[in-house]
Amino acid sequence: MSVTLLRADAGRLPLPDASVDLIVTSPPYWALRSYTDGGQHYDGQIGSEPNPAAYIDSLIRCTAEWVRVLKPGGSIWVNLGDKYSDRGHGPSRGRGTGRAPQAETLKQTRGPLEKSLLLLPERYRIACVDRLCLIARAVVIWDKPNGLPESVTDRVRRSHEDWVHLTKSPRYFASVDALRAQAQPRNYRDWSARKALGEPGRQGEQRRTFGAGMEPNALGALPGSVRAVPTQPLHVPAELGVDHFAAFPMDWPRWIITGWSPTCGTVLDPFGGTGTTALVAHALGRHGISVDMSADYCRLARWRTSDSGQIAAAMQVEKPPKEHDGQLDLFAGKGAA
């Protein structure tokens, strides 16, 4: 399949109605950093809103557009991080967390927020259900075993983020059998071995372990709602002149695309960034579409989806040797369209 890179607004997609099988994306987090074109902050980017309520409104506007382009049997998976309030928070005009004199207004409308989580993932999920009538099928916790340290002394370190799985219909494409665990739990191995030998086992064992009338699936257990996935650094060539600090690891789109999109289907990331989703979709035999407002990030995604080393990593194969003049590209035809 192919990759399509589009410079466009995530809330105004140049795509037909009901043309996408799966959406996998991670919107910019609120008040975290400024994304740039040519080193300049550009207006209209998600995450630069004056307050959390406006941020959620922006996300819902975008999500309504994603619903338009999603097929009736499609799914939306969104990764969203949270943020703590402080004495003055707001959008950044550079790296790191922004600061702006908004705390007093927020305190008047929502109570004292200093040091409180803003619960942005929860607010977004509830708004999707209440305002867009989407079905919230699951919330999956991304456990980050190599998460960053924190200097706080009065709470736990935050070492996770959320993914929410949303659908338009109770019936939608899913292939979770492809994600089932290969290694069986011990009680399943013991029980299945005795069954194969015609041994009944201890009375009530199957009922206690698997439920009345239920037998374990031979393919393994259903994937759980907590996944430990290490963050994955991305080393961008210096000549591209683009820094990116928030590329999610390839394992996440690989897992989601495998489980919730048909082979040869179309997978969209409306906040394409580095092109991770489109790259992995292409490696898995899907058509990947990456959308971003920034020309800088479109250029970065073009490099990533056509680079032989990045393609090899997405395909989980060895990186090809360095090409010499006159040598055919092992991944010819695998790059961006």
CB burial of residue 282 (10 Å; 0-12, 13-18, 19+): buried
Distances 23 to 19, 67, 153, 261, 290 between C-alpha atoms, Å: 11, 9, 38, 9, 10
Give the model's pLDDT for residue 257. 98
Tokens found for residue 47? 């995450």
CATH among 3.30.428.10, 3.40.1830.10, 2.60.40.10, 3.40.50.150 for 3-180+222-315 = 3.40.50.150
Distance in angstroms (rounded) separating the CA atoms of residues 67 and 59:
12
Amino acid at 216: P
Amino acid at 13: L
Nearest to residue 244, comparing CAs of 25, 7, 23, 34? 34
Give the model's pLDDT for residue 248. 85
Domain chopping of the chain, boundaries: 3-180+222-315, 183-221
Give the model's pLDDT for residue 336. 47
Give the model's pLDDT for residue 103. 41
The segments of the chain whose pLDDT lies below 50 read 88-111, 183, 203-207, 335-337
Give the model's pLDDT for residue 198. 61
CB burial of residue 197 (10 Å; 0-12, 13-18, 19+): exposed
Question: What are 146-184's pLDDT values in tens digits?
Answer: 888 888 899 999 999 999 999 999 999 999 999 997 545
Question: What are 7-64's pLDDT values in tens digits?
Answer: 999 999 999 999 999 999 999 999 877 776 777 777 778 988 989 999 999 999 999 9
Distance in angstroms (rounded) separating the CA atoms of residues 83 and 286:
34
According to DSSP, the residues that pair with 4 across neighbouring strands are 289
Tokens found for residue 255? 């897992």
Give the model's pLDDT for residue 201. 52
Give the model's pLDDT for residue 235. 83
Strand extents, DSSP E, the chain: 3-7, 20-25, 36-37, 40-41, 70-80, 135-143, 160-167, 226-228, 266-269, 287-292
CB atoms within 10 A of CB 278: 30
